[in-house]
Amino acid sequence: MQMSDFNLFINRLKRSLALPLPGQTAQMRMVPPTRQEALQNSESKNKAKPSAVLILFYPDGEKIKFILIERAVYNGIHSGQIAFPGGQFEPTDSQLRATALREANEEIGVNPQQVKILGELTKMYIPPSHFDVYPFVGFVEKKPGFKVDNTETKAILEINLEDFLNPACQTIKTIHHRTGITVDVPCFYLNNKIVWGATAMILSELLVIIKRS
C-alpha cells in the first residue's frame, strides 16, 4: 500500500464523518438482546457519567488498521471485554476528545500529540456502567510504538480494515453473560475474538460511515 492510499482513505473518511451521522439506526443493528429494554428506558440515562473512546487508524505495511483492546480481568462490569481505548472523563480533561487521547496514551502508549482527530460518532448510553460514551475517530501517519498498561489492558488487537469490511465477520455468537445466563448476541468476529455490546454497536455505525465514503 502506498501512503497515498492511506491518505485517500483518511480524506474520504473525514468527508463522510462531516455528513449527518447514521446514529442509533446503525448502532441498534448490533444491540444485544439483554440491552434493548434498558436502552429504551430514557429515565435511566439521566445523569450518566461522560466518557470517551478513540478509534485510531494507522498504516502498517500493505494494510490499514485500527485498534481494539482486550481489557484486563478485574472485579468489574467490563472485565475481559473487547473495547476501544478509552475511559471516564476527568476534571483535568479540557474536553471529551482529551479524555479519549489521555486514555489511549495511558492504556496503549499512543502519543496524543501525534493523533489527528477526524470527527466523532454518535454518543451512546451504556446501561450496565451508566456511562455516556463519546467515540472519536482519529489517525496517526505511522504505526505507533504501542506500550501496554497491564493493569488495564491484557492485549492490543490490531484489526485489518479489510477484515472489518468483510461481511463474513458479522455473525451471531453464544456468550456467557455476566448475569449468569447464556445468550446469543450479534457481533463482529475479529482476530478470533467476539466483539459485542457497545463496541459492536459503535463499529456498526463506523461501518456505515466508511462504506458511504
* pLDDT for the residue 97: 97
Residues whose CB falls within 8 Å of the CB of residue 135, separated by 6 or more in sequence, listed in order = 52, 53, 54, 55, 84, 86, 100, 120, 121, 122, 124, 202, 206
* pLDDT for the residue 41: 59
106 contacts 149 by C-beta, under 8 angstroms: yes
The full set of domains in the chain, from first to last, is 3-165+196-211 (3.90.79.10)
* pLDDT for the residue 151: 81
Mean pLDDT by 10 residues, the chain (213 residues): 85 97 95 73 70 97 95 63 94 96 95 97 89 96 90 90 97 82 92 95 98 92
Q: Which residue has the cell 482476530?
A: 191
13 contacts 209 by C-beta, under 8 angstroms: yes
55 contacts 143 by C-beta, under 8 angstroms: no
